[in-house]
């Protein structure tokens, strides 16, 4: 090592300069150490929805908005897209774990699934894999059928468009995207041959190469992500740093909200929060909006007296409203085990990727392997035999990763996923020296439903999280079929040209099944059961008369409570068919307009949301541009 460092010094000097330039994005703090006694609106949680809500409400200079975040700020390292997994189990992660699972997670330590959640400005948009996926139009229409009026696809699409600044002209011009919004969406600049082969492989199985956020979701694609100039574009970067000069928006970090305060009329009037071992109270003249996510919003409501009566009384918490908070927990999961070796040296092997040339390419020009969305280079929305193929409502989403659990020599992924030593040694350790790629079929609409409960009345005790993975018998059947399709992708000519071969090691506990049989695949799914980090549903939105609902379609808390809303993934009645970050940003956009008393018109392909207009570009292709597009 002593002999290597002098040789690297000439390269480290410009690298340090580039690090300093990148760090300028975070150099001006938006947090403060002083705050007022009272605000018009208090937003709790600065994540994917909360940052949006705070930005949009503070657009009105006549209202004062306070945004409280339990964590601190993102940094230059968290900006690196490929480094997504390494951010888990760090101080910016709540680092939750589920209860031991009865029918899944057999290959994880104590049968617990590890649940990273962002404890930082930008929330989980700082930890996630940045994939920009809106979900399926049928998801939102189904919400309406379940009583969530006002949330149909035609009504929510304008809010997706409002946020978006799509920087790929070939995508932005197709009529389903926005240009000039605050959230940057872009395509990866340097796709590997593994990625390029993915849509071609899909064609061999009958799937078109599509824009999964456009007219048709079913198909294969090289995904777009929330990345700006090669670096992560979190909601903090998109919605908070752009508003940091507003005197009416106050952002306070390291503010851990422990309770919502109510008056004798069940009106939310303020919040209590701890900051650096001191307890404070701050009050809201108009409304309080909880955007803590499906875990924290549910926990905070119950700690404040809103939740199932029997459960709250068992913890000695006075009941404000008897509502089914914490129930209806849904999550997207995938099975491991579908990994391929191949001939070539272009998968994301850590010891090869982390090099001075690649670091300089990333920091200097936003190029190279470090700009990849956590290693995910392909998305395929597929139909198993249990899906209705005529409805364009695929039931699985293949995440194609140009690497696998062995790509970092067992340093990070193995740890954050919680592999048992036995599973690592028997399945993965033999392949540490190989280039690999993986297919992870994500179950989009699981029938297994879990819950979140309080562990105690202390806000510092993590809640009980039990997603009950694979407890519904239908889930394992569809999972096995999706695994077989994923295997078939790797056996198509585009990948066989690379001499792709499935891993031959056998999962512990599955030895007595014939390898690759349905029984073996089911065993693998129950052994390596992984979350894709999309918990939703614990503060369900529904009609006011729905006994299973926690909030109404305007996201106002039911049960006679006033002045309190929830705006994050917890309000989803059913989980969307795709990654959840973009829909949660949409939820933030929509609730802000509801609070302000405005609604964007339905999108029918002709009408355009206010603030946007059609403008012909030099190629006479209609695109959407925000009014201030050319000022940014």
Binding region for FAD: 120, 257, 569
Residue 266, token pair as written in the block: 């069940």
Are 455 and 354 a contacting pair, CB within 8 Å? Answer: no
Q: How far is CA 361 from the centre of its chain?
A: 27
Task: Tell me how far apart the alpha carbons of residues 401 and 408 are, in angstroms, rounded to a whole number.
Answer: 13
Three-state DSSP at 344 gives coil
- Using alpha carbons, select from 257, 248, 245, 252 the residue that is nearest to residue 291: 257
Task: Tell me how far apart the alpha carbons of residues 415 and 405 are, in angstroms, rounded to a whole number.
Answer: 10
For 293, other C-beta atoms within 10 Å of its C-beta total: 26
- Using alpha carbons, select from 336, 294, 339 the residue that is nearest to residue 108: 336
Alpha-helix runs per DSSP H in 266-391 = 293-303, 309-314, 350-353, 356-365
Residue 526, token pair as written in the block: 């129950």
In this structure, are strands 306-307 and 321-322 parallel, antiparallel, or unpaired? parallel
Are 83 and 348 a contacting pair, CB within 8 Å? Answer: no
DSSP string over 30-48: -B-S---SEEEEEEE--ST
Task: Tell me how far apart the alpha carbons of residues 235 and 123 are, in angstroms, rounded to a whole number.
Answer: 8
Alpha-helix runs per DSSP H in 373-505 = 413-417, 421-423, 473-490, 493-496
- Using alpha carbons, select from 221, 121, 122, 112 the residue that is nearest to residue 171: 221
Three-state DSSP at 515 gives coil
Annotated binding site: 120, 257, 569
Q: Half-sphere exposure (CA, 13 Å, Cβ side) for 421?
A: 0
- Reported residue count of the chain is 632
Are 356 and 414 a contacting pair, CB within 8 Å? Answer: no
Give first-to-last CA distance, the chain, whole Å.
45
Alpha-helix runs per DSSP H in 290-349 = 293-303, 309-314
DSSP string over 14-29: HHHHHHHHHHGGGSS-
Task: Tell me how far apart the alpha carbons of residues 57 and 505 are, in angstroms, rounded to a whole number.
Answer: 54
Residue 605, token pair as written in the block: 């392909």
Task: Tell me how far apart the alpha carbons of residues 32 and 46 are, in angstroms, rounded to a whole number.
Answer: 14
Helix (H) or strand (E) holding 586: helix 581-596
Cite the active site residues.
534
């Amino acid at each position: 090592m002593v002999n290597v460092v002098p040789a690297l010094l000439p390269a480290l000097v410009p690298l340090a300069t580039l690090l300093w330039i990148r760090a300028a994005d975070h150099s001006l703090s938006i947090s403060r150490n002083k705050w007022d006694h009272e605000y018009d609106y208090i937003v709790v949680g600065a994540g994917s929805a909360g940052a949006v809500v705070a930005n949009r409400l503070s657009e009105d200079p006549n209202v004062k908005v306070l945004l409280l975040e339990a964590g601190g700020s993102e940094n230059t390292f968290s900006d690196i897209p490929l480094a997504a997994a390494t951010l888990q189990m760090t101080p910016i992660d709540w680092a939750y774990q589920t209860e031991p699972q009865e029918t899944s997670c057999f290959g994880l330590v104590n049968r617990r699934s590890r649940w990273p959640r962002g404890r930082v400005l930008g929330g989980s948009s700082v930890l996630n894999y940045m994939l920009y996926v809106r979900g399926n139009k049928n998801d939102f229409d189904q919400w309406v059928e379940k009583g969530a009026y006002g949330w149909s696809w035609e009504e929510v699409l304008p809010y997706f468009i409002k946020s978006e600044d799509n920087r790929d002209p070939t995508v932005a011009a197709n009529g389903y995207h926005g240009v000039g919004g605050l959230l940057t969406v872009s395509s990866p600049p340097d796709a590997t041959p593994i990625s390029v082969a993915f849509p071609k492989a899909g064609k061999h199985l009958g799937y078109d190469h599509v824009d999964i956020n456009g007219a048709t979701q079913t198909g294969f694609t090289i995904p777009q992500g929330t990345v700006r100039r090669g670096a992560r574009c979190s909601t903090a970067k998109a919605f908070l740093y752009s508003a940091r000069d507003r005197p009416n928006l106050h952002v306070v970090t390291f503010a851990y909200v422990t309770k919502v305060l109510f008056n004798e009329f069940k009106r939310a009037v303020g919040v209590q929060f701890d900051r650096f071992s001191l307890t404070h109270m701050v009050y809201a003249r108009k409304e309080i909006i909880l955007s803590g996510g499906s875990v924290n919003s549910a926990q905070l409501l119950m700690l404040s007296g809103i939740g199932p009566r029997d459960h709250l009384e068992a913890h000695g918490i006075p009941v404000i409203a008897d509502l089914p908070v914490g129930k209806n927990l849904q999550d997207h999961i995938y099975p491991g085990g579908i990994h391929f070796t191949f001939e070539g040296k272009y998968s994301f092997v850590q010891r090869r990727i982390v090099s001075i040339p690649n670091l300089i390419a990333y920091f200097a020009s936003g190029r190279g392997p470090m700009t990849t969305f956590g290693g995910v280079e392909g998305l395929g929305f597929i139909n198993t035999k249990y899906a209705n193929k005529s409805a364009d409502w695929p039931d699985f989403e293949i995440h194609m990763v140009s690497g696998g659990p062995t790509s970092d020599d067992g340093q990070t992924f193995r740890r954050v996923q919680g592999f048992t030593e036995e599973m690592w040694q028997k399945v993965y350790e033999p392949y540490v020296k190989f280039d690999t790629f993986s297919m992870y079929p994500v179950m989009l609409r699981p029938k297994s439903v879990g819950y979140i409960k309080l562990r105690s009345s202390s806000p510092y005790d993590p809640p009980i999280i039990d997603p009950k993975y694979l407890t519904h018998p239908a889930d394992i059947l569809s999972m096995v079929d999706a695994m077989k399709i994923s295997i078939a992708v790797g056996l198509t000519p585009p990948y066989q040209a690379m001499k792709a071969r499935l891993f031959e090691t056998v999962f512990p506990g599955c030895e007595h099944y014939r390898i690759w049989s349905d029984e073996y695949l089911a065993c693998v799914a129950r052994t390596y059961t992984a979350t894709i980090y999309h918990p939703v549903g614990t503060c369900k939105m529904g009609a006011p008369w729905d006994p299973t609902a926690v909030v109404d379609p305007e996201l106002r808390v039911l049960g006679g409570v006033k002045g309190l809303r929830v705006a994050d993934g917890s309000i989803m009645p059913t989980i969307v068919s795709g990654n959840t970050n973009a829909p949660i940003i949409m939820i933030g956009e929509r609730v802000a307009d509801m609070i302000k008393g405005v609604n964007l018109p339905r999108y029918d392909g002709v009408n355009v949301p206010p603030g946007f207009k059609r403008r012909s570009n030099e190629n006479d292709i209609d695109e959407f541009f925000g009014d201030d597009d050319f000022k940014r």
